[in-house]
A and B are shown apart, each in its own frame.
Chain A
Amino acid sequence: MPQYLALTYTADVDWWAPEQAAELAEYRQFAVDNAGSLRASAVLHPTATATVVRVEGARGGKVVTTDGPYAETKEALTGYYLIEAADLDEAVAIAAQIPAAWGGAVEVRPVIAAR
């Protein structure tokens, strides 16, 4: 069955902060409701903890790290779900239940199947 990575873009919050508890509970409920379709998921620390890694020139070159996310955007990548669904319509129906879909956005990307 096709797999889709649903990337959640929301306000750049700290999910462990007490004020996020209610929203985090909604995400947990989504995961319970759709357990049969979810193959993996993750919640990410805020973008302030991100490190971008680049290697100069080619493989083995100097490793350059910069502080912060790859792209500074109003809404940040804050988590993902790996969804298994029959087709895009089914994947969209599941993604539409992720709390990030309101107030933020969910990007649904088809995963290349192993050959």
Chain B
Amino acid sequence: MHDAVAETVRVEGARILATLIRTVGDVQIAEDAVQEAALAALGAWPVTGVPPQPRAWLTVTARRKAIDILRREQARRGKEEEGTRMIELARADLPPDEVVHDDLLRLIFTCCHPALSPPTQVALALRTLCGLSPAQIAGLLLSTEAATEKRLTRARQKIAAAHIPYRVPAPAELPARLPAVCGVIHSLYTSGHATFDVDACREAVRLAELLHALLPGQPAPGAVLALLLLTEARRPARLDASGAAVTLDCQDRTRWDAAAIARGIALLNASLEASRRRADPYQLQAAIAAEHARAASYDGTDWPEIVRLYDLLMSVAPNPAAGLARAVAAAEASGPAAGLALLADLPPDPRWHAVRADLLARAGRHAEAVEALTSSLAGTVTDVERRHREQRLAELRGLA
């Protein structure tokens, strides 16, 4: 019961916050008001039961709390409060859906404004759009609660002091502004993905669903949602019963989420249509994920096609992670030597050493593989990866 109440309060809170920020004209005051309303709900509802219209209850309560906060500010500053703001807040009716729709978009674009640093954009989105606490955000972003609080406070101060606008960009500006929003969602997803943290991934999918629902005609949000769904579809097979990592070649493909895969592929196709088939990095990554999802088995994967997609990805958005994945795909398509040749051009890090160890082992160079895998354990590695690599190292020592 309590978890369901907390979830309702959290989801409705983000919706109410988006409109309240516009009415109040201040992120901090609006956040405080929604927070106080949420606390009131969490205190009352487990006793009284959830009211028939929880959204209306929370909206009206948050507005009252905002009025209280504004009056306190007014008394402190000895300044007369703007009448129009107070009248707006005293209303008892709910804003229509299309108003909330626009307010949510305003909130998204303000959180992901290019004048804020990327980590701040992620933290702000988690706070305002997902309704997570600073402690929860710190857990997802591998930071401390104090540092996260500080980051959020500075962000709110900058939004207020620098007058970062609370506005949906004009259609002509959207192509320039959407990559930052998609970047926030994608980096949130990959941060969770790397640590097998269920929550970061779920919040990222939630944001991707929201952005796509708000801007259904834009190709980028559809591509990000497709990429997340196609990646998320493989999650049930990614860990075995003991919690150990299962690599793609050993995954039980019957455990993949077929419905998510079908939806991801449909979204990708619609996104490609909308962008007239000029692929962006998210579409290419989604296309690669779709190619894996379509294959009935690891050996049945169309590796030359995957290499071709990675070549395209590296030409539009070169990055070390994609470079590593391309080397793996090239090894599958044309043998370990082709993969090792591509690795030579990439910067070494723990994952690079691990991939190299795997390719060396497949080329029969076991002693070098042991050396590479040992190097891969020297840097920052998750516990799941460490267990996997240590087990593999023991196998390789036997062969070397």
Contact = CB atoms under 8 A, between A and B. Distances in A.
Real binding pair = yes
Interface of A: 2, 4, 86-89, 92, 108, 110, 112
A2 B160 CA distance: 11
B92 to A, nearest CB: 31
Residue in B115, B162, B165, B167 with the greatest tally of chain A CB atoms within 10 Å: B162
B112 to A, nearest CB: 13
12 contacts: A2-B163, A4-B162, A86-B163, A87-B164, A88-B113, A88-B115, A88-B165, A89-B164, A89-B167, A108-B162, A110-B162, A112-B161
B188 to A, nearest CB: 24
Contacts of A86: 163, 165
Interface in B70-113: 113
A92 B167 CA distance: 15
A66 B166 CA distance: 45
A108 to B, nearest CB: 8
A83 to B, nearest CB: 12
Residue in A2, A86, A89, A112 with the greatest tally of chain B CB atoms within 10 Å: A89
A67 B164 CA distance: 38
A92 B115 CA distance: 10
Contacts of B163: 2, 86-88, 110
Interface in B370-392: none
Interface of B: 113, 115, 161-165, 167
B176 to A, nearest CB: 11
B165 A89 contact: yes
A interface majority secondary structure: mixed
B155 to A, nearest CB: 13
A45 B165 CA distance: 35
B394 to A, nearest CB: 52
A87 B115 contact: no
A93 to B, nearest CB: 11
Contacts of B162: 4, 88, 108, 110
A4 B163 CA distance: 10
Residue in B113, B115, B163, B165 with the greatest tally of chain A CB atoms within 10 Å: B163
Contact of B165 (A87, A108, A110): A87
B110 to A, nearest CB: 10
A108 B162 CA distance: 9
A87 B161 CA distance: 10
A65 B289 CA distance: 64
A38 B163 CA distance: 18
A86 B113 CA distance: 16
A115 to B, nearest CB: 8
A110 B160 CA distance: 10
A87 B163 CA distance: 5
A4 B113 CA distance: 18
Nearest to A109: B162
Given A4-B162, A88-B165, 5 more contacts: A88-B162, A88-B163, A88-B164, A89-B165, A108-B162
B255 to A, nearest CB: 47
B149 to A, nearest CB: 22
A31 B297 CA distance: 65
A86 B167 CA distance: 12
Contacts of A110: 161-163
A4 B115 CA distance: 14
Nearest to B77: A115
Contacts of A87: 163-165, 167
B282 to A, nearest CB: 25
A2 B158 CA distance: 13
Q: Which 10 A-B pairs rank lowest in CB-CB distance, beginning with the nearest?
A: A87-B165, A87-B163, A110-B162, A2-B163, A88-B162, A110-B161, A88-B164, A88-B163, A89-B165, A88-B115
B190 to A, nearest CB: 29
Contacts of A88: 113, 115, 162-165
Contacts of B161: 110, 112
Contacts of A2: 163
Contacts of A89: 164-165, 167
Contacts of A92: 115
A18 B115 CA distance: 37
A71 B113 CA distance: 30
A2 B167 CA distance: 17
A86 B163 CA distance: 8
B42 to A, nearest CB: 36
Contacts of B165: 86-89
A25 to B, nearest CB: 30
Residue in A2, A4, A87 with the greatest tally of chain B CB atoms within 10 Å: A87
A88 B113 CA distance: 10
B41 to A, nearest CB: 34
Nearest to B113: A88
